[in-house]
A and B are shown apart, each in its own frame.
Chain A
């Protein structure tokens, strides 16, 4: 089909517009938004699809807004051999007109026209392809579904060279594949899993087989039980037989065993009798032995008693001799003790004397020390008194010297300020008395004297000159007088005449203080730090302790002692005190006393040692005497015991002999032994006879036979029990209808298997059919995939470059794109690349399809995702697609720049087409071409040759 012309009237926003399209090649319709580009496409669909009496939503949507006019579309096109002008108006003043101008002229209207047109289109045009090659606004320009389009497949079939089989593809055949697949799906899910009837049939077979197996098992269980029961019956019969035979055998053995048991009893009895006789013989022998032992014991006891008597006698003799010796020793010890006591008394006396002498010496020493301390103390107190005088105060003496210096200063000041008298010697040594003081004045020598006060100068003999100071020296003189008065008062306070005396007194006080310290040291040394009263107390204690007679020698010796002279100057006295105790009485000579005491003590020790030795010797002897006495007592006791034992034994023996004399006992023993031997022989004989008849074997046989009977009884009971069990089971099973169940189960299994076979066959048929159909279809498709792919690749290489390769599946879908060796699935490509490939695919189809079969490729504002570089190449694609082909491409765009480079055969700029003002008569519909830019004019298209 080729569109030549489309005219819209009162269609949506378009008042009236006619567009002429290039018969082949690219026509670009460009215009602003809402100018009615898309309406042009919509109008074509309405024209074909909706009858003029339709009030469907798309028809109503095409009515112009706000105006009471029916939308009208007129199209002129060539399709197949037909050249057609077709016009329709809906809603208002409806009409349908069809003018066919070739190959034969037809003129139709109304319903006839509509139907005739559809018939023409069905005859000449692949309408699915027409829709498929269209790219709507705002829909992604992606994969195009091209499978099953008549025109395309015819074209591809031609391209593949497959002419001979006639029309290659039938859309109905495609539907058959779908139906065959649906049939397969009835039986097989994913992965060949059985579903629906096939699965049900399989389940039925499985269930039936399970049931048949169970039923067969139930039946064979009964059959086994029947066999078992027969077996048990046989066994029971055999067992009864066996028991009868075994019972007879038991009875026979029992008789033999009973007889043997009686004899066994006899043997046992004889054995017991022999045993009793052996015991009696043993007892007689024992009594004989006991008698002999008793005789021996009596003799032994008698011997022991005799030995004890001898021992006692020896001991008693030794004891007497030791007692005599003991008395002697006792006397000796007493003597030595007395001598020791005397020596001890002498030693004690000598020690007493020595102690008394020592006390006296100490008393004398203490008394001397006391006396010296008292003297020193006294001297110390005296010196302290001296040291404590007024001049002892060093500060007071200092002050006095200060006052003295003040006097001298005052006098000096007076002299300095006073008039002077110069006395000059005129002759040889003249004596002059100045204020009473005589001095000699040599010739030429002069002395200057200050006249502080009235100075009297006497030249002896000659004159008395009194020089008095004038009034001007009065103040100085009064200050001197005041200073002197103060000095005199201070001297008086100190009790001294003048300053020199004060200095002497101060020095004396210092010396006295040092003496006080020295004397205190003396007292300290003499008393050893003890207060005087302590020393006095010690003296009193000592004096009391010394008895009067012991103190007797002391006065004689004290007479020789030097007595101190009380009138001697104290200085010496004091010196003596400091030196030693020269004033003490002479000490007593203690040495002879000490020697005496030592000697007597030694003698006492010796005497004591001797006495101790004697006593010990006595005591030792005494102890041995005591021990020997105990031995004697023990020996006496032993004798008594031995005697008593000997008597008892003798008595016992006597009594025993009175009862049984020794020879009677011997006869009884011999007799008993003989009887025992007899009985034993009898028993052995019987036992040997019994053993010869082998009672053990008979007993074993008997026991075995009895056990066999028991075992048979047991087995019989067991068989009976099992038989009862089986019988019970059979009774139960008999009423269960197991045969019926088994028969029903087998019938069901056979039916289920038949059904399964039938369903499986149907499923296999479906699979086979689908496989065959699909394989055939794919073969056909593969045949025309190649030319399609070649054409798409040819175009796409312009965009993507020469390395591009595409994979296309039998449904003519692009599977993947390979570029520079990198393969990317179509779905993973960018939107832009998908768009470009989609466009290439459509243009390829258009280029492939036969010119007569072809339909226009309609592209409504696509390629929004392509960059300028690709756009340029896409433009070349349009050109390449057009080359050598006569198909029609219509591009609608609001951005003309996108399609500038495509070399359009015709570019139509669409301008708004508004309705004229009310005043303008609507009949004026076909004005001559006017200025296209005039917005109020009837819309028209401006044609430019592409």
Chain B
């Protein structure tokens, strides 16, 4: 499926000729104790689109029933970044979301909580306070989400603001305009600088795959993000149509796999946008297991960015438990 796999990685000297401004980047990298050999991103593997689509469709044909289904669904719940990213968000809305994150469905004891709550930077403090010592993380979008059309200084400030307010994780967007213009250095440096601004917080890099258009570019952006220090790569903001698809996620998972083989460093994955059904979420788990392996099957390395997915998963779990199909009215609003 992927050509040119072995010709991808270049020596450092070759790269230094092509990429001259890595000064700041390396300081950022050293903080995490990770200095990768930076490849020439113009040479990232090309993707066979038909092959990727066909392969992704096969993951949807596994039969997962009964107990393994329930276990899978509980795992999905535990991987959700419960998200509210609306212009109309209020503190009340965020508090309500945090309560839901901690009490998914009290009628059914023994459920896990979600992994994190994902909000705008201005809501981080509210969320942090509401979640107390529940163990649920607070993720904040930053860097002029969702467009990313702001100066680097503003983006760094935005990130620092979120982290200073207590964000455990930062979801940044890449500069798609710069990426399309071929300014990979800019995109790379920006990610590295945001990573530095994050400090201890884990950085998720949103590629906004619908904006990148081709599968080749999605793979290239994935590579840039991971080499620049991303802890997670994330498909989409959820604000652009069409939402991310399984083939897109497959390409990103393969990029993570190749990166791991090359550098020995694990990078997490977060598909977001358009995953609202439990069945689709299970398909993603199958894909992660079969592409990356079980090491990634936990919420440290895999997340779902979603708002309505949680309720559908809860309804499926209740269906398995009670034997009758469920009604959304009996579950808390999200």
A binds B: no
B interface residues, Cβ below 8 angstroms from A:
none
Query: Contact residues of A with B, CB < 8 Å?
Result: none
